[in-house]
Amino acid sequence: MNDSSPENFEGYGRRCLTVFAVVMCVTLAMVGVFYANLSSRPLAIGLTLAAAVVNAGLVASYLMHIISERRLIHIVLLFTGIFAAGLLVLSIGAHWSVPAGTIH
């Protein structure tokens, strides 16, 4: 996004509005799943999480420009992703290694 002519940014503005519209539609779909009160709770959780990941992907890729960012920033984000995923895996792993005799 180095060419700062108004024509160049006109298309960019339209793309941002499209991303906003998609994010809104996905959000409303998530809320719809909540009100639909699906009989399978794991299915509802799975659908809701998938929708959240789609929204986050759109915001990060297009609004934060990750899609067109420098390689260095991609590397920083890759390491962040690995450490954040490790944090989640450790937490979930801890759930399966509760000391014997623990009472809930």
Q: How many CB atoms lie within 10 A of CB 29?
A: 13
Q: Which residues make Cβ contacts (< 8 Å) with residue 62, sequence separation at least 6?
A: 15, 16, 19
| Closest by Cα among 3, 25, 23 to 15 | 23
Enumerate binding residues for another protein (CB under 8 A).
1, 4-6, 9, 12-13, 16-17, 20, 23-24, 27-28, 30-31, 33-35, 37, 44-45, 48-49, 51-52, 55-56, 59-60, 63-64, 70-73, 76-77, 79-80, 83-84, 87-88, 90-92, 94-95, 104
In the bound complex, what is the minimum distance in angstroms from residue 49's beta carbon to another protein?
7
User: Rounded to 5 degrees, what are φ and ψ at 5?
Assistant: -75, 145
Q: For residues 88 and 100, which CB has a smaller minimum distance to another protein in the complex?
A: 88
In the bound complex, what is the minimum distance in angstroms from residue 99's beta carbon to another protein?
13
In the bound complex, what is the minimum distance in angstroms from residue 42's beta carbon to another protein?
10
Q: What distances in angstroms separate CA 24 from CA 6, 29, 55, 76, 102, one per listed residue?
A: 27, 9, 9, 29, 44
In the bound complex, what is the minimum distance in angstroms from residue 10's beta carbon to another protein?
9
